[in-house]
């Protein structure tokens, strides 16, 4: 099942992507869920899946305003340096535990939306990533059972302002509208193995990153185990799992995104996330 967040008729709604368009799950559900985070927290995914079997869509994509697939996560937790190839291109040492930083909610960008290059820098970089959405409140989760706490998966662009990141990871990762998330949430029941996916990032149609998720240093289970030791994970929390090599900062000369560029992250089994780069 593929779930989206969108706005229609001046209201927030959630839907399922079906052939020919969108099923409006907010209007179809007796519970009237208009927040995917709230629906996940209420363990309503089976209810939504049953409704998603309807044969005809209610809306076309051009009739709605797409939102980041989780517009309002309580936490956005990101893992840095999680592919050996990326560690090498950045001249860093292999980590012995996950390197964690967080993002603010206002960094999120809708699928097809505008990714904003800040006026304070030209060093605006791309990082294509697999993102995990937590499905159940949890703490101290063993790696072996960690995937049972996952609601689903989506694509993410970790837009990085590299000169600010040199003196502060928090600063370099938290300029507004630098983190596209989507295009939809693929539920975990239809994507059982997050370590068997192919990730491709394209800048203006040219492949700039390509790898498979089995090359993560810390797999999804290990990441959840670590993060749930540090903090309580809540339904709808987003975890970005790191990027492979090919980022702009690792190239000579560097390859920075500029206004007019188009960035795409495609992950097998999920789909393709698109965003347009604009100047602040």
- Tens of pLDDT along 181-198? 999 999 999 999 999 999
CATH code at position 275: 3.90.850.10
What six digits make up the tokens of 239? Answer: 């975890």
pLDDT per position as a tens digit, 43-81: 999 999 999 887 799 999 999 999 999 999 999 999 999
Query: Are 130 and 254 in a shared domain?
Result: yes
Q: For position 99, what pLDDT does the model report?
A: 96
Query: Are 137 and 264 in a shared domain?
Result: yes
> Is 71 inside a domain boundary?
no
Give me the mean pLDDT over the 4-15 stretch: 97
Give me the mean pLDDT over the 209-219 stretch: 98
Tell me how far CA of residue 73 lies from CA of 65, 106, 135, 182, 247, in angstroms.
19, 10, 12, 13, 26
pLDDT per position as a tens digit, 215-263: 999 999 999 999 999 999 999 999 999 999 999 999 999 999 999 999 9
Query: Are 29 and 161 in a shared domain?
Result: no
What's the rounded Cα separation, in Å, for the pair 78 and 158?
Answer: 9
Q: For position 155, what pLDDT does the model report?
A: 98
Query: Are 21 and 88 in a shared domain?
Result: no
What six digits make up the tokens of 183? Answer: 């295009």
Distance, CA of 135 to chain centre: 15
Query: Are 41 and 145 in a shared domain?
Result: no
Cβ–Cβ under 8 Å, residues 187 and 223: no
Mean pLDDT value across the chain? 97
Max CA separation in the chain (angstroms): 56
Q: For position 88, what pLDDT does the model report?
A: 87
Query: Are 12 and 149 in a shared domain?
Result: no
Cβ–Cβ under 8 Å, residues 1 and 16: yes
Phi, psi of 97 (to 5 degrees): -150, 160
Q: For position 226, what pLDDT does the model report?
A: 98
Domain boundary among 37, 66, 95: 66
What's the rounded Cα separation, in Å, for the pair 72 and 41?
Answer: 13
Domain boundary among 47, 66, 85: 66
Query: Are 253 and 151 in a shared domain?
Result: yes
Cβ–Cβ under 8 Å, residues 260 and 268: no
Task: Give the global pTM.
Answer: 0.97
Tell me how far CA of residue 206 lies from CA of 22, 112, 203, 209, 264, in angstroms.
30, 18, 5, 9, 10
Domain boundary among 22, 43, 66: 66
Query: Are 40 and 150 in a shared domain?
Result: no
Query: Are 128 and 220 in a shared domain?
Result: yes
> Is 255 inside a domain boundary?
yes
What's the rounded Cα separation, in Å, for the pair 45 and 1?
Answer: 9
Q: For position 91, what pLDDT does the model report?
A: 86
Query: Are 105 and 54 in a shared domain?
Result: no
What six digits make up the tokens of 186? Answer: 């693929």
Total number of domains constituting the chain: 2
Query: Are 15 and 40 in a shared domain?
Result: yes
> Is 182 inside a domain boundary?
yes
Query: Are 10 and 38 in a shared domain?
Result: yes
> Is 180 inside a domain boundary?
yes
> Is 120 inside a domain boundary?
yes
pLDDT per position as a tens digit, 85-126: 999 888 888 999 999 999 999 999 999 999 999 999 999 999
What's the rounded Cα separation, in Å, for the pair 224 and 257?
Answer: 31
What six digits make up the tokens of 91? Answer: 């001249």
Instruction: Look up the domain containing 61 and give its range.
Output: 2-66
């Amino acid at each position: 099942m593929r779930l989206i967040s969108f706005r229609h008729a001046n209201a927030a709604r959630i839907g399922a992507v079906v052939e020919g368009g969108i099923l409006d799950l907010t209007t179809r559900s007796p519970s009237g869920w208009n927040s995917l985070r709230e629906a996940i927290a209420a363990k309503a995914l089976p209810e939504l899946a049953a409704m998603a079997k309807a044969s005809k869509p209610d809306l076309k994509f051009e009739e709605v305003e797409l939102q980041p697939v989780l517009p309002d996560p309580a936490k956005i937790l990101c893992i840095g340096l999680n592919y050996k190839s990326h560690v090498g291109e950045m001249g860093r040492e292999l980590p012995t535990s996950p390197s964690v930083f967080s993002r603010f909610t206002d960094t999120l960008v809708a699928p097809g939306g505008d990714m904003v290059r800040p006026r304070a820098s030209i060093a605006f970089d791309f990082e294509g990533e697999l993102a995990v959405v937590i499905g159940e409140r949890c703490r101290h989760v063993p790696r072996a059972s960690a995937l049972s706490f996952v609601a689903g998966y989506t694509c993410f662009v970790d837009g990085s302002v590299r000169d600010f990141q040199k003196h502060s990871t928090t600063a370099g990762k938290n300029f507004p509208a630098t983190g596209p998330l989507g295009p939809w949430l693929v539920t975990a029941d239809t994507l059982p193995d997050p370590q068997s996916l192919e990730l491709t990032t394209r800048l203006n149609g040219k492949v700039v990153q390509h790898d498979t998720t089995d090359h993560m240093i810390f797999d999804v289970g290990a990441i959840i185990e670590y993060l749930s030791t540090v903090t309580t994970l809540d339904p709808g929390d987003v975890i970005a799992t790191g990027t492979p090599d090919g980022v702009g900062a690792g190239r000579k000369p560097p390859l920075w995104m500029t206004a007019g560029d188009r960035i795409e992250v495609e992950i097998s089994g999920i789909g393709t996330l698109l965003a347009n780069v604009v100047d602040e």
